[in-house]
Amino acid sequence: MASFQNISIRNKLTAIIRNRAIKELSQLNEQLEQRVKECKANLTKTQAALQLSQEKYHKIVEQTDIALYSSDYKEYLTYVNAVFKKLSGYTENELVGKLFLEIIAPDWKEKVTKFYKEQFDNKVQESLFSFPIITKSGEKKWIEQTVTQLKEGDLIAGLNAIVRDITERIKTEEKLKEYQYFFNNSHDLITIANESHFEIINPNFRKVLGYSEKELLEKRFMDFIHPDDVNTTLLEIEKLRTGVESLNFRNRYRRKDGSYLLFEWNVTPDPITGKFYASARDITDRKKAENKLIESEHFLNSIIENIPNMIFVKDAKDLRFVRFNKAGEDLLGYSKADLMGKNDYDFFPKTEADFFTTKDKEVLESGKLLEIEEEPIHTRYKGDRIVETKKIPILDGHGHPLYLLGISNDITDLKKLLAELKQKSEELANTNKELEQFVYVASHDLQEPLRTISNFVVLLKKKYSGTADTATAQYLQFVVDAATRMQNLIKDLLDLSRVGKNVVFIEVDCNEVLTEVIADMEASIKESNAKITAAKLPVLKGNTRELKQLFQNLISNAIKFHKKNVIPEINITVEDKNTEYLFAIKDNGIGIEEQSINKLFVIFHRLNTSTEYPGTGIGLATCKKIVDLHNGKIWIESKFGEGSTFYFTLPKENNLKHNGTQTTLK
């Protein structure tokens, strides 16, 4: 029964428990419902708050001046804010759903992709990177973006990016870089300095001067300046202090090796900070070149000024004088100051000025040098002069005339002198002619009385032969010999004075000439047993009579100066020398001593005593005169004791040098 009881208890208990449970449950339920109610209210509140927050956030995001965008994990844009749209120039529709990569500047796409890949691979949460994008209008804009990954668990759900437009900053940076580049690479020396020291110097300072930057900055710049330039530099600094710029100021700086360089400075002072912004250029070489140019100009100037000819330059446009030298001033009687900028019409009579101007124009138009052999020119103090002028156009690179250069030589005195000289030389020629005529006539007229003397002395000698005493016979012989010698002398003189008189040149066959000479000399050839051989001689232009004389003199000479007891051998040869023939008359005679050779063709010069080798000393002088007349040369080669060779040349074609004067006997 227990069980029953138990059951009843149990039932009772169960009912109690149940009731209690129900009660508790309903309480609990109430509580729960209350909680749900509260929760619901809370949720609504939270939802409202969230809504508010979202709106607030959105508002913030949209209203901020920072550009923002979000993308999904594949980098398709999911959100862009207004600033970003403005920055990129695209609308929301054009951006959302597109790849962000598309607006990156093409040459940066790869770099940007690579950068972010590395970021993600290395699980870097947040990163900063700058690169350019291309806006809708095609403009390149530099942005700097901070990218934050959005994660769902371990997975990247997307990206949030804060973007700043840094185009201006980049531009400034680039400019700054350029300034820096310019500063660092300038070949000028650039510095910012205060009154005593360099504060900033560009690298070229070191390069040019050879000091370290430290040395240059530590020392006072005045310590580098040439002692002679310190004062001028100090004065220049004084000027700068007053705020005045310094332009093209020059001073010398000492290099580390002790040498000096010449700098040319341009300095702008800042009156507020007292700083100097300066650039300098090393003009040492330029200065040297300048000096050289100055020297060369000075050199040319000296020449132009001191040359005895008048030199003038006119501008090509209106022929006004732009240059005049001293000789020009002296000649014309006007100073440079008088002449500059003026033209011919200001100084010369119209006809002269017209002539000069015409010639000037001719030169400038033709572009060629013109020589005016003679032109009259009126001068201020020297009256009318005659000048010889060269006019030369000075052209520019394109051949257009810039200037007209004139060089004039005052030939007035020269012309006068020439005229005098001409007169004198005519007088001389006349005197010479008269002299020749005198010699000719005198010798001719001397012949007759001499012959008479000779004739009668011979008769006397004959008449008294055998009856006269020895002394008388000897005296008579002296007279006969002297008369004979004088006759020879006169004959030779006549020959000499006759050379060139009444001469015409014709075709002469030298073979015929020689044959005639040998025939004429038959007696002396026979007497001396001389052997004469001759090559075939040419036909040439000359004078028969003179050539005959020439051959005759040379052959008789060769016979006359033969060695005792040696048969004279004379060989005549000829060589063709293009425009002339070279004749040689070779003998085996006594020869001539070397020191005497030069005197050989001098008139009256005899090398031997008259008793041994009688002669007048005129024969070879006549030969020379004949060869000269034929425009040839004559000389001798000889070995004393072994014989001589006389050479002479005769041109094939020939014209008379001068025509002799007609000489007639009284």
Q: Map residue 638 onto helix, strand or coil.
A: strand
**Contacts with 58 (C-beta within 8 Å, 6 or more apart), sequence order:** none
Among the listed residues 85, 491, 605, 652, the single contact to other proteins using CB under 8 A: 491
Q: Cα(464)–Cα(469) distance, rounded to whole angstroms? A: 9
CA-wise closest residue to 491 among 533, 543, 439, 435: 439
Please tell me the count of residues contacting other proteins according to CB under 8 A.
17
CB 281 within 8 A of CB 189: yes
Nearer to other proteins (CB atom), residue 13 or residue 459: 459
Shortest distance, position 632 Cβ to other proteins, whole Å: 21
Taking the C-alpha atoms of residue 250 and residue 232, their distance in angstroms, rounded to an integer, is: 9
Q: Kindly report the CA angle at 34 between 33 and 38, in degrees rounded to 5? A: 115
Residue 408 CB, nearest distance to other proteins (Å)? 53
| Stretch in the footprint of other proteins (CB under 8 A) among 53-61, 173-181, 296-304, 490-498 | 490-498
Q: Which is nearer to other proteins, 443 or 649 (CB)?
A: 443
CB of 666 to other proteins, least distance (A): 6
Q: Are 100 and 187 in contact (CB under 8 A)?
A: no
Q: Minimum Å distance from CB 541 to other proteins? A: 19
Q: CB 588 → other proteins: shortest distance, Å? A: 30
CA angle (200 as vertex; 195, 203 as ends), nearest 5: 130
Q: Report the nearest approach of other proteins to the CB of residue 623 (Å).
A: 17
Nearer CB in complex with other proteins: 214/666 = 666
Cα–Cα distance for residue pair 27/256, rounded to 1 Å: 104
Tokens 């050479």 label which residue? Answer: 647
- At 597, the amino acid letter reads I
The tokens describing 382, both together, are 């020297």
Tell me the C-alpha distance between 147 and 144, whole Å.
10
Tell me: does residue 502 bind other proteins (CB under 8 A): yes
Could you tell me if 277 and 198 are in contact, meaning their C-beta atoms sit under 8 angstroms apart?
no
Interacting span for other proteins (CB under 8 A) from 158-166, 213-221, 441-449, 618-626: 441-449
Segment interacting with other proteins, rule: CB under 8 A, options 43-51, 144-152, 347-355, 442-450 = 442-450
Closest listed residue to residue 622, CA positions, set 486, 489, 499, 500 = 499
Contacts 24+ apart (CB under 8 A), 408-416: 408/309, 408/310, 408/311, 408/312, 408/328, 408/331, 408/377, 409/309, 409/310, 410/310, 410/331, 410/385, 410/386, 411/374, 411/386, 411/387, 412/385, 412/386, 412/387, 415/374, 415/386
Sign of CA dihedral 522, 528, 529, 533: negative
Give dist(CA 67, CA 405) in Å, integer: 78
CB of 566 to other proteins, least distance (A): 31
- What is the distance between the alpha carbons of residues 156 and 129, in angstroms, rounded to a whole number? 19
How far apart are CB 516 and other proteins at their closest, in Å? 11
Residue 436 Cβ vs other proteins, minimum distance, rounded to whole Å: 14
Q: From 178-186, 216-224, 293-301, 440-448, give the range in contact with other proteins by CB under 8 A.
A: 440-448
In the complex, what is the shortest distance from the CB of residue 498 to other proteins, in angstroms, rounded to a whole number? Answer: 7
Please give the Cα distance from 525 to 521 (Å, whole number).
6
- How far is Cα 501 from Cα 549, in angstroms, rounded to an integer? 13
- Exactly one of 63, 259, 452, 465 binds other proteins (CB under 8 A); that residue is 452
Establish if 665 lies at the interface with other proteins (CB under 8 A). Answer: yes
Residue holding tokens 């990129």?
Answer: 88
Residue choice 149, 343, 408, 454 for contact with other proteins (CB under 8 A): 454
Provide the minimum distance between the beta carbon of 562 and other proteins in the complex, in angstroms, as a whole number: 25
Residues ≥6 apart with Cβ < 8 Å to 447: 487, 490
Nearest distance in Å: CB 453, other proteins: 9
Do 181 and 167 form a contact (C-beta atoms < 8 A)? no
The Cα 47–Cα 64 span in angstroms is: 25
List the x/- string, 521-550, binding to other proteins by CB under 8 A: ------------------------x-----
466 burial level (CB within 10 Å; 0-12, 13-18, 19+): exposed
- DSSP category for residue 454: H
Residue 536 vs 666, nearer CB to other proteins? 666
Considering only 197, 359, 382, 451, the residue that binds other proteins (CB under 8 A) is 451
320 near other proteins (CB under 8 A): no
- Applying CB under 8 A, which of residues 160, 268, 447, 661 lies at the interface with other proteins? 447
Is 489 a binding residue for other proteins by CB under 8 A? The answer is: no
CA angle at residue 555 from 554 to 559, to 5 degrees? Answer: 120
Of residues 161, 262, 316, 494, which one binds other proteins by CB under 8 A? 494
Minimum Å distance from CB 379 to other proteins? Answer: 57
What number of other Cβ atoms are within 10 A of residue 159's Cβ? 21
Site for other proteins in 153-172 (CB under 8 A): none
- For other proteins, give the closer residue by CB, 181 or 456: 456
Member of 444, 563, 606, 633 binding other proteins (CB under 8 A): 444
Compare residues 456 and 640 and give the one whose CB is closer to other proteins.
456
If you search the block for the tokens 């300046």, which residue do you land on? 225
Q: Which of 416, 387, 384, 383 is nearest to 308 (CA)?
A: 387
Q: To the nearest whole angstrom, how small is the minimum distance from the Cβ of residue 452 to other proteins?
A: 4
Q: Is 586 in the site for other proteins (CB under 8 A)?
A: no
Please name the residue ranges forming H helices in 272-321.
Answer: 284-306
Cβ proximity to other proteins: between 404 and 510 the closer is 510
Instruction: Assess 448 for contact with other proteins (CB under 8 A).
Output: yes
CB of 545 to other proteins, least distance (A): 5
Measured from the CB of residue 492, what is the shortest distance to other proteins in angstroms? 10
Q: Does 268 bind other proteins (CB under 8 A)?
A: no
Choose one: 61-69, 117-125, 127-135, 446-454; the region binding other proteins (CB under 8 A). 446-454
User: What is the CA angle 72-76-81, rounded to 5?
Assistant: 85
Query: Which residue lies nearer to other proteins by CB, 206 or 451?
Result: 451
461 binds other proteins (CB under 8 A): no
Spell out the residues 6+ positions from residue 59 whose beta carbon is closer than 8 angstroms to its own: none
The residue (of 301 and 465) whose beta carbon lies closer to other proteins is 465
Rounded CA gap, 27 and 11, in Å? 23
Interface stretch with other proteins, choices 157-165, 265-273, 488-496, 586-594 (CB under 8 A): 488-496
Q: Tell me: does residue 564 bind other proteins (CB under 8 A).
A: no
Neighbours of 635 (CB within 10 A): 15
Strand partners, 650: 581
Rule CB under 8 A: say whether 455 interacts with other proteins. Answer: yes
Q: Would you tell me which residues interact with other proteins (CB under 8 A)?
A: 444, 447-448, 451-452, 454-456, 459, 491, 494-495, 498, 502, 545, 665-666
